[in-house]
Amino acid sequence: MTGTASLSTSTDGVEGGVGLTALLVAAARAIETHRPDSLAQDVYAEHFVRGAEASAHWPVRPDQAPGGDTSPLWGRFARYFGLRTRVLDDFLLRSVRTAGARQVVLLGAGLDARAFRLDWPSDSVIFEIDREESSRSNTGSSTPCRPNRGRSVSRSGSTCATTGPVR
């Protein structure tokens, strides 16, 4: 297109590895999290957005969004991603709690942190598969971490496996 600039998302974002799209969606989830009638909760999203130079000035709460809920970008976009997040969260939790699934593979998780923020059954195994830079950004390092309910996460390359409780 004439008059548009090419934007490389491979060098923008947290530690030069997280794309602007992941940061934009994280900002939308942060805004949704702070709504009084939120559809989804992601307490990590605001920290990811604030931690990246490219998005540090973006709104992460409804009252910070220009135009509030009527804004096509921040208001409606955040509500859409809140709904999308809630639908997928509910589907995955229902699958492991009632349908017998014990392993969940999250492809292209970006900065969602679903493996960390959901209350997974203790015998479930969660795999996050994404670019290594995105996986590292979810924990701030490439070392093991402790997501929700005392689980351990081991990382190998671009794969994150969340296993049962830490003993």
Give residue-wise pLDDT tens across range 67-84: 888 888 898 999 999 999
Q: Give a yes or no: residue 62 inside a domain.
A: yes
**Domain range for residue 148?**
14-165
Q: Residue 130's pLDDT band (boundaries 50, 70, 90)?
A: confident
Give residue-wise pLDDT tens across range 25-77: 999 999 999 999 999 999 999 999 999 999 999 999 999 998 888 888 898 99
Q: Give a yes or no: residue 128 inside a domain.
A: yes
Q: Give a yes or no: residue 2 inside a domain.
A: no
Q: Give a yes or no: residue 71 inside a domain.
A: yes
DSSP character for 148?
A: G
Higher pLDDT, 6 or 103: 103
Token output for 27: 């900002």
Q: Quote the pLDDT of residue 145.
A: 40
Residue 115: CATH number of its domain = 3.40.50.150
Q: Give a yes or no: residue 3 inside a domain.
A: no
Q: Give a yes or no: residue 104 inside a domain.
A: yes
Q: Give a yes or no: residue 8 inside a domain.
A: no
Q: What is the rounded distance in angstroms from the CA atom of residue 50 to the CA atom of residue 126?
A: 26
**Whether this model's pTM surpasses 0.75:** no
Q: Give a yes or no: residue 7 inside a domain.
A: no
Q: Residue 16's pLDDT band (boundaries 50, 70, 90)?
A: low
Q: What is the rounded distance in angstroms from the CA atom of residue 72 to the CA atom of residue 146?
A: 36
Q: Residue 138's pLDDT band (boundaries 50, 70, 90)?
A: low
Q: Which of 26-35, 83-92, 107-116 shows the lowest per-residue confidence on average (mean pLDDT)?
A: 107-116
Instruction: Provide the domain count of the chain.
Output: 1
